[in-house]
Chains A and B, each alone.
Chain A
Amino acid sequence: MSDVYKMERREFVKILGGGIVVCVNLGSIAGLAACERRGFQRGYPDDINAYLHIAEDGEITLFSGKIEMGQGIMTSLTQMAAEDLGVGIESIQIVMGDTDRCPWDMGTFGSLTTRMFGPAVRAAAAKARLVLTDMAEERLGVDRQSLSVENGVVFVSGDRSRSVTFGELARGQAITHTVDEEAVQRSVQDFAVIGQSPLRLDGVEKVTGAAEYAGDIRLPGMLYARILRPPAHGATLTSVDTSAAESMAGVTVVNEDGIVAVLCVDPELAGRALRAVNAEYDEPNPTVDTESIYEHLVDVAPEPNVPDEEGDLGAGRAASERTFEETYYNAYVAHAPIEPHTAVAEVTDGKATVWSSTQAPFTQQQGVARALGFDPENVRVITPYVGGGFGGKVSGRQAVEAARLAQITGTPVQVAWTRAEEFFYDQFRPAATIKLTSGIDANGKLTLWDYQVYGAGARGSDVFYDVPNKSVRVFGEWGGAPEGLHPFAVGAWRAPAANSNRFAAEQQIEIMAYAAGIDPLEFRLSNTSDERMQATLRAAADRYGWQPRSTAARNGRGRGLACGIDAETYVALIADVTVDVASGSVKVDRVVCAQDMGIVVNPDGSRMQMEGCIAMGLGYVFSEELRFEGGKILDSDFASYKLATFSQMPQIDTVFVSNDALPPKGGGEPAIINMGAVVANAIFDATGARVYRLPMTPERVLEALSNV
């Protein structure tokens, strides 16, 4: 491992000014191996991943490379630390996403914070409590077993007059501890902080406008930059004339290293100056567009990965009373965070500081260092609050742009993408074509599952139904798509690939259930022996008030069911819809969402994520579809690219399947993965029409109705 990532443990204490520091090496925490080396990322270092500091004045600080983009981890990580340390959450400060102050982290994505990073935080807190209790043992002259900890005070059990505070214990200390043994963590029945729903720690700042995002950072002499952009991905600049922009008062023009930019103190003037730049481009002829992409994905597909294979497909066909062959399609969609990519950079004395809206500050530190020709330790990335990420704020292009322009001009620079730039440089959720052939025997038992997904990736394609003959082939992953598969960059979009895979799989299940004349809930229950899935399905059905029915209602109102596993969380959704058969428009009236996510650290925070998944999902279900001609992106604003809005909100009921035997699992993504299928299944129940392509626009619903 490179020394770049190492910081001497003693250094921490020096920087922090004494007290007690507890460091954690995530490698020692069970379960981490699963998330190491995710293709484009290196694994966690064998050094420190988190640390907790108890200052001499008793102030407690948790340092984490994770970032807060709305998912609520500032609060839930603090809860986890508070639980095992024995303090209230108000006693802990948290510093996040600052590469100078926080230990290395691979990034905030994949619903990994709580399930992978949470254990490290708890281990550090438990260790700190142990260290402090040991020190108190000496101070109070009684042994550890006779001591209790509450609200940052260690006292003799039954005699609170004999006590010492954490601050008093930390005073005069300059020591570090590493978690080297499993310090005893609190068990579920003793939880005082985990399992509670305190008001979020970021709340007051966010409702008063005080919360700082990257674009709110203002430095003396800072210039706002606008950068020349090509008209299409793949276009090359053939000529550029910046003379008109250069003649504008107060405008600085940069044309260096392939970056053409105008800068000034007024962002609007920068915009006008950019419009005064005349540029010509060579644009490649488009070879693929919004409609032809689905065949293209199949035609140019790379060799498949085969994550799941069992039995023999031929035997499966032979054993099938009926087979079902369907093809499903899902569109490219944008992340469209309301805060566009933004960065502010300052480069002075061979050091760079970049405030960036990013999910991956340490990746950006590397990228900025490379671009500037600096050593990474001379680049500091600070992550203020991030205004939404959803997987889209990883690449760090805007941070590199701001840093290079700051280096070239010698002044602090802000690069804040416009909405059109945000749509252009997004790393979109890839389109997908899914070919699925399945079969059932005379008793409605699954016999065959022949699954091929093109373009999206594997996540969500796992077969948790009992199928003796199955094959899952994945042609192209979002994270490592070969050149030419997609006409522009694609990336991780909230539960990457799972939204496409569940759209296909869970519709296919209902197609077979109705064909077999079996209630769709009963069909699922009888075709999976996975007890967590059964319990999750039953929890959703109970809350909904499910009545078995084996034929579609076909009266304009329908219900659908869909389930899946994501981030080790089990999720089942039931939705009610009303279909206007004249217009093809669909209203989702109610969604019930049941989740088994193990121990629920913050129930209300988890509900927020479930509700957000469901509501955000309505966008990709009904209207979100990025239109393009080759590398030219045709959607550049919210007029043509429609997100979900207030009027679409259904009643949402969220249910937790109690499972305190299991450590906390992911919560930021699972509830979104079934939105396509649950609505499509409800449309089928309402009308008898099946929609195979997302988004399910009124036109596509009408077309499906015409085939009934």
Chain B
Amino acid sequence: MKETIRFTLNGAPVTLETEINRKLLWVLRTDLEETGTKYGCGAGMCGSCTVVVDGIPVRSCIVNVDYVRGKAVTTIEGLATDGELHPLQREFFEHGAYQCGYCTPGMIMNAYGMLQENPTPSRTEIIEGMENNLCRCSAYKRIIEAIESAAGIGGGDHE
């Protein structure tokens, strides 16, 4: 049955008439035409669909749209402001912390949520926080360094 669902997406109010058990991922990608959030496994195991809901990273492929009623959803499209890259985006770019780029939105959003909870994580905490996001190109080393740089705690220079 369709219901009215309201939430904010990247700061803008959204009102949808939709089935409430649809997955947030597909509502974002189809109804709302925000395709930066990616399908990778549909089971919450790879993290490429990660978005941030009220400051917490969630796997949008296993979360019903019902869950975000009245909440603030941030996707990769919402990080840059006025054409200015978010520090995480800038550090991912400058460290080359991506290759094919497909898992990158999920990586950045997971890190964004993680840094909201813990703005100065140790390397061990970064690894723990990112562990369940998969990158098949395996840019892991640079992703860790990019997150460290964004958090203002070093980050290496790849020689």
Footprint of B on A, CB under 8 Å?
A: 69-72, 199-200, 202-213, 215-216, 218, 265-268, 336-340, 385-390, 416, 418-419, 604-605, 607-608, 611-616, 618-619, 637-639, 643-647, 649, 652, 654
- Scan residues 121-154 of chain B and give those whose CB is less than 8 A from a CB of chain A: 126-128, 130-144
- Asked if A267 meets B30 with Cβ closer than 8 Å, knowing A208-B79, A637-B45, the reply is yes
* Chain A residue, CB-CB nearest to B41: A419
How far is B23's CA from A266's CA once the two chains are assembled, in angstroms?
11
Q: Known interface pairs A207-B104, A638-B45. Does A615 touch B93 (Cβ–Cβ under 8 Å)? A: no
| A208/B101 in contact, CB under 8 A | no
Instruction: Check B52 for interface membership: any CB of A closer than 8 A.
Output: no
Question: Using Cβ atoms and an 8 Å threshold, which residues of chain B touch A419?
Answer: 40-43
Q: Is B2 an interface residue (CB 8 A)?
A: no
Q: Are B30 and A385 in contact (CB under 8 A)?
A: no
Contact call A388/B41, Cβ cutoff below 8 A: no
Instruction: Indicate if the CB atoms of B104 and A206 lie closer than 8 Å.
Output: yes
Which residues from chain B contact A72 at a C-beta distance below 8 Å?
99
Q: Indicate whether A203 sits within 8 Å of B93 (C-beta atoms), given known contacts A646-B130, A647-B131.
A: yes
A645 and B131 form a contact (CB under 8 A): yes
Given A70-B101, A266-B26: 17 more A-B contacts, CB < 8 Å: A70-B98, A72-B99, A204-B85, A208-B89, A209-B36, A218-B30, A337-B100, A338-B46, A338-B48, A388-B100, A388-B136, A390-B136, A616-B136, A619-B138, A638-B45, A644-B140, A649-B144
Partner of A643, one of B22, B89, B134, B144: B134
Q: How far is the CA of A637 from the CA of B136 in the complex (A)?
A: 14
> Which residues of B come within 8 Å of A, CB atoms?
22-23, 26, 30, 33-43, 45-46, 48, 75-77, 79-80, 85, 89-90, 92-94, 96, 98-105, 108, 126-128, 130-144, 158-159
Let me know if B99 and A209 touch, CB within 8 A.
no
Chain B residues near A647 (CB, 8 Å)? Answer: 127-128, 131
Closest 3 CB pairs of A and B: A209-B36, A387-B102, A70-B100
User: Max chain A CB contacts within 10 Å: which of B22, B35, B126, B127?
Assistant: B35
Q: In whole angstroms, what is the CA distance A340 to B48 when docked?
A: 12
The answer to whether B103 touches A644, judged by C-beta atoms less than 8 angstroms apart, is no
Residues from chain A with a CB closer than 8 A to the CB of B139 are 608, 611-612, 615
Contact B96 A616 (CB under 8 A): no
Chain A residues near B127 (CB-CB < 8 A): 646-647, 649
Bound complex: CA A639 to CA B45 (Å): 7
User: Most chain-B Cβ atoms within 10 A of its Cβ — which of A211, A212, A213, A605?
Assistant: A211
B102 contacts across to A, CB distance below 8 A:
213, 337-339, 385, 387-388
Q: What are some 27 contacts across the A-B interface (CB < 8 A)? A: A204-B85, A206-B98, A206-B104, A207-B90, A209-B34, A209-B76, A218-B30, A218-B33, A267-B26, A268-B26, A338-B46, A338-B48, A338-B102, A338-B103, A338-B135, A339-B100, A340-B39, A387-B101, A387-B102, A388-B100, A388-B136, A418-B42, A607-B159, A616-B136, A616-B137, A644-B138, A646-B126
Distance A72 CA – B101 CA, assembled complex (angstroms): 11
Of A210, A268, A604, A611, which one neighbours B23 at CB under 8 angstroms? A268
With A209-B76, A612-B138: A387-B100 Cβ-Cβ less than 8 Å: yes
Whole-angstrom CA separation of A71 from B100 in the bound complex: 7
Pairwise interchain contact B93-A612, C-beta atoms closer than 8 A = no
**Contact A611 B142, beta carbon cutoff 8 Å:** yes
A212 cross-chain contacts in B, Cβ below 8 A:
35
Shortest beta-carbon distance, B25 to chain A, in Å? 9
Return chain A residues, CB-CB under 8 Å to B48: 338
Residue of B nearest to A357 (CB): B102
B75 touches A649 (CB 8 A): no
CA–CA, A169 and B137, complex, Å:
43
Report chain A residues within 8 Å CB of B100: 69-70, 337-339, 385-389
Q: For B126, list chain A residues within 8 Å (CB).
A: 646
Docked CA distance A339–B26 (Å): 15
Chain A residues whose CB sits within 8 angstroms of the CB of B35 once the complex forms: 209, 212, 215-216, 218
Decide if A638 touches B46 in the complex (CB within 8 Å).
yes
Q: How many Å from the CB of B129 to the closest CB on chain A?
A: 9
* Interface pair B101/A206, CB less than 8 Å apart: yes
Question: If the complex has contacts A203-B98, A267-B30, A639-B43, are A615 and B141 also in contact, measured as CB distance less than 8 A?
Answer: yes
Q: Which residue of B lies closest to A651 (CB)?
A: B141
Most buried by A among B75, B76, B126: B76
Instruction: Choose among B26, B39, B105, B137 the residue that contacts A388 (Cβ–Cβ < 8 A).
Output: B137
